[in-house]
Amino acid sequence: MALSRKRQLLYDLFPDISIIPECAKKCVELCIEDGFDGRWIGDKPQKGLGVLVATVALNLLLVNFLAHSWRSAMNRLLTSGFSFHPSNSPWQLAKSVI
């Protein structure tokens, strides 16, 4: 319930994800204004479960996932024996990667 007063202490820890029990909905909204992504779950606006995710961490996770997927696809393509000849259709390229 005191997250609105203590949130800077939380920010100083540089968390990727924070789960805050007994959190007011208003506190999560303040954290969202400060640059976190967040969700609040509960029946009473004064007490619920706050979940905060650092947007930088979320973006890095997405970038790492895409980079890994791209590397995996290129590795499969290069080890499949596919030829980059102009007569090969895009469908052949897709089949060799999948």
Model pLDDT for residues 64-87, shown as the tens digit of each residue: 666 666 667 666 666 666 555 555
The pLDDT confidence band at residue 16, using thresholds 50, 70 and 90, is confident
Residue ranges per structural domain of the chain: 3-54, 57-97
pTM: predicted TM-score of the whole model, two decimal places: 0.55
Residue 97's CB is within 10 A of a number of other CB atoms, namely 15
CA angle 54, 60, 64 (to 5 degrees): 150
8-23 residues labelled b (16+ CB within 10 A) or e (exposed): eeebeeeeeebebeeb
- Residue 75: beta bridge partners? none
Report which of 80, 76, 31 is spatially closest to residue 51, judged by C-alpha positions. 31
pLDDT at 78: 64
